Structure 1
Amino acid sequence: MAEVAVKQVRKSYGDTEVIHGIDVDITDGEFVVLVGPSGCGKSTLLRMIAGLEEITSGDIHIGERRVNHLPPNQRDIAMVFQSYALYPHKTVEANMGFSLKLKKMDKAAIKKRVADAAEILGLTPYLGRYPRALSGGQRQRVAMGRAIVRDPQVFLFDEPLSNLDAKLRVQMRTEIRELHQRLQTTTIYVTHDQIEAMTMADKIVVLNGGNVEQIGSPLDLYDRPKNSFVASFIGSPAMNLFDGKIEKSGADNVQVSVGGTVLNLPGFNDLEPGRAVRLGVRPEHLQLAETGLPATVRVVEPTGPEIHVVFQFGAGELTAVFRERHALSTGDQVHLGIDTNHFHLFGADDGLRIEP
């Protein structure tokens, strides 16, 4: 196992810079998820750590070694891709042990490593099968087993669950997390799915446009997003963001006008009247009320344990999540109150979080 340090790493293709001086420190044994929208640079960063992409400037260290110019096979890493990349003409056992065979490892040692990895992943009954006789989840386990047998310092996962159906994705998330808890190998995992990031990571790195927006634990990012981008990206359904203006501030209380409604919100003072802000409220922190934000029901989505409701609010829309089974129908007009223990204010100009 090893620490991974990314220091002021930049990547350019010609005159176009796609990674803009990223710094990320990953401690020994940590499970770190790189997350962000398509094109944010997360897979490019992973490939630079793996040695599959050259870096334009900066440094990457794995353990005590600077690996900028080392080829992938000398970095002591193992990578699991979105595509399983299994040899169709080889059995599960042969697929898992192939990299060790190339290293000319003793046959008995290869067999033991493969057997141990198969036991961990529940693949022992399938060692004699070919990939065509396996399900998608079993193929992904074989790809993971091929990485495990190498006993690397670092595991790299590049959107490994994208090809699986929804139910299997949930199962494999649990299995990968349990695997990490058992092996305690430093792991870097790339996904665009923030639910995967929230449920699997020790630490999340949120990327946007080739920059790091925020680094922190899943709940840190959920409860205290650094800016409006992180606030809207982390969480499903996404946080509601409303354009507003400070009407009055003082005595640990602020009045914010949103869509013609003035809200009294605690915990803030000395904010300049007239300042443009964005009010952030997560869907679970809205409730039906006698007064509050006037809204019209557009779509009702029962999920079983919860009801997700999309409302028309002014020229835009907002989403609320209710545990109670309210009898709501399209066109109903209601008022929504805000849980004043759970809201966020961001600057309208820079998007940065405004602290109480």
Structure 2
Amino acid sequence: MADVKVRRLRKSFGSTEVLHGLDLDIKDGQFVVLVGPSGCGKSTLLRMIAGLESISEGEIAINDRLVNNLPPAERDIAMVFQNYALYPHKTVAANMAFPLRMRKMESSVIEDRVSRAAEVLGLTEYLGRYPRALSGGQRQRVAMGRAIVRDPQVFLFDEPLSNLDAKLRIQMRAEIRELHQRLATTTIYVTHDQIEAMTMADQIVVMNSGNIEQIGAPLELYDRPANTFVAGFIGAPSMNFLDAVVSKNGSAAVANVLGAGLPIHEPDGLVDGQKITLGIRPEDTTLSGDGVQGEIMVVEPTGSETHLVIRSDGRDYVSIVRERQAFSPGQSVSISADPSKIHLFESDTGQRIN
């Protein structure tokens, strides 16, 4: 196991810079997820740690050893790709053993490592099969087994569940998390799926346009997002954003939005007449009281809860209702929220108001 340190890391393709001086510390044994929209640079960062992309500027250290100029084989890492990349003409056992045979390790050691990895992953009965006789989830476990047998200092996962159906992704999320708890190996995992990030990570690194927006524990990012980008990216459905103007009366503060006055907690430095952005998560909305008036456009029952798309002044907002109630399109409702559940952001920069 090892820690990973990234300092002032930059990556350019020609004149286009895609990573802009990143700093990141990953502690020994942590499960860290890099998350963000397509094109944010998360896979590029992972490939640079792996040694599959050159470094334009900055440093990467694994276990306090600078690895900038080391080839992948000398970094003591193992990578699991989105594509399983299994050899179709080799059995499961042979696929898992391949990296060890390339190292010319003794047969007895190889057999022992493959056997132990197969037992951990529930693949023992499939060791004699070929990839064509396996399901997608079983093939992904074989790819993971091929990484495990190497006993690396760091595991790297590049969107390994993207090719699986929804039910299998949920199963594999739990299996990967359980595997990490058993092995306690430092793990860096890339995904664009914020649900994967929330359910699997010790720490989440939210990336956007080659920059790191925020680093923190899943619930820290959910409860106290640093800006509107993180607030909108973490959580499903996404947070609702409303433009508002502060109105202060003594110690009380109200956000005037779309003809309604929503009470808010008064952070230090908030002034009368200030333009701000309110953030309200769909699950924190209430449909009662003197709130923002709107019309239900879409009703989406999911069983345990109902998602409502509500239109007000030409913009759509989402509300989640957990009690069984009869809703119908065209129905008028009032959207409000507990003041303690309302997030406040600067309207011009999008940064959180503390």
Asked whether 1:137 is paired with 2:137, we answer yes
Letter in 2 for 1:162: S
Hey, which bits of structure 1, 4+ residues long, moved more than 4 A? none
Letter in 2 for 1:302: P
C-alpha separation in 2, matches of 1:310 and 1:27 = 42
C-alpha separation in 2, matches of 1:67 and 1:132 = 37
Asked whether 1:216 is paired with 2:216, we answer yes
Asked whether 1:347 is paired with 2:322, we answer no
Change (3 A) 1:271 1:135: same
Q: Note the C-alpha offset of 1:322.
A: 1.1
> Aligned with 2:113: secondary structure?
helix
Q: Note the C-alpha offset of 1:176.
A: 0.1
Deviations 1:223-280 (A, max 9, x none): 00000110000000001111111122641x3111111212121243541222211000
Asked if 2 retains the 8 angstrom alpha-carbon contact of 1:29 and 1:186, the reply is yes
> Aligned with 1:181: secondary structure?
helix
Which residue pairs with 2:160 in the alignment?
160
Letter in 2 for 1:206: V
Letter in 2 for 1:63: N
Which residue pairs with 1:276 in the alignment?
275
Asked if 2 retains the 8 angstrom alpha-carbon contact of 1:249 and 1:271, the reply is no
Which residue pairs with 1:288 in the alignment?
287
Asked whether 1:36 is paired with 2:36, we answer yes
> Aligned with 1:230: secondary structure?
helix
Asked if 1 retains the 8 angstrom alpha-carbon contact of 2:260 and 2:290, the reply is no
C-alpha separation in 2, matches of 1:154 and 1:105 = 20
Which TM-score applies when normalising by structure 2?
A: 0.98
Asked if 2 retains the 8 angstrom alpha-carbon contact of 1:250 and 1:270, the reply is no
Letter in 1 for 2:275: A
C-alpha separation in 2, matches of 1:198 and 1:234 = 8
Asked if 1 retains the 8 angstrom alpha-carbon contact of 2:46 and 2:190, the reply is yes
Change (3 A) 1:276 1:125: same
C-alpha separation in 2, matches of 1:336 and 1:240 = 11
Q: Note the C-alpha offset of 1:336.
A: 1.8
Change (3 A) 1:333 1:63: same
Asked whether 1:63 is paired with 2:63, we answer yes
Q: Note the C-alpha offset of 1:43.
A: 0.2
Asked if 2 retains the 8 angstrom alpha-carbon contact of 1:93 and 1:128, the reply is yes
Asked whether 1:335 is paired with 2:334, we answer yes
Letter in 2 for 1:76: D
C-alpha separation in 2, matches of 1:265 and 1:169 = 39
> Aligned with 1:225: secondary structure?
coil
C-alpha separation in 1, matches of 2:41 and 2:115 = 37
Asked whether 1:310 is paired with 2:299, we answer no
C-alpha separation in 2, matches of 1:269 and 1:7 = 34
Asked whether 1:25 is paired with 2:25, we answer yes
Q: Note the C-alpha offset of 1:324.
A: 0.5
Which residue pairs with 1:230 in the alignment?
230
C-alpha separation in 2, matches of 1:270 and 1:86 = 58
> Aligned with 1:341: secondary structure?
helix
Q: How many pairs were matched up?
A: 354
Which residue pairs with 1:179 in the alignment?
179
> Aligned with 2:206: secondary structure?
strand
> Does 102-111 or 242-251 show the bigger shift?
242-251
C-alpha separation in 2, matches of 1:254 and 1:36 = 34
> Aligned with 1:110: secondary structure?
helix
> Aligned with 1:169: secondary structure?
helix
C-alpha separation in 1, matches of 2:317 and 2:325 = 17
C-alpha separation in 2, matches of 1:269 and 1:220 = 21
Q: Note the C-alpha offset of 1:35.
A: 0.2
Which residue pairs with 2:255 in the alignment?
256
Unaligned 5+ runs, structure 2: none
> Aligned with 1:163: secondary structure?
coil
Which residue pairs with 2:322 in the alignment?
323
> Aligned with 1:23: secondary structure?
strand
Letter in 1 for 2:52: L
Change (3 A) 1:50 1:250: farther
Asked whether 1:103 is paired with 2:103, we answer yes
Asked if 2 retains the 8 angstrom alpha-carbon contact of 1:194 and 1:233, the reply is yes
Unaligned 5+ runs, structure 1: none
Deviations 1:325-355 (A, max 9, x none): 1210011011122122211000011111001
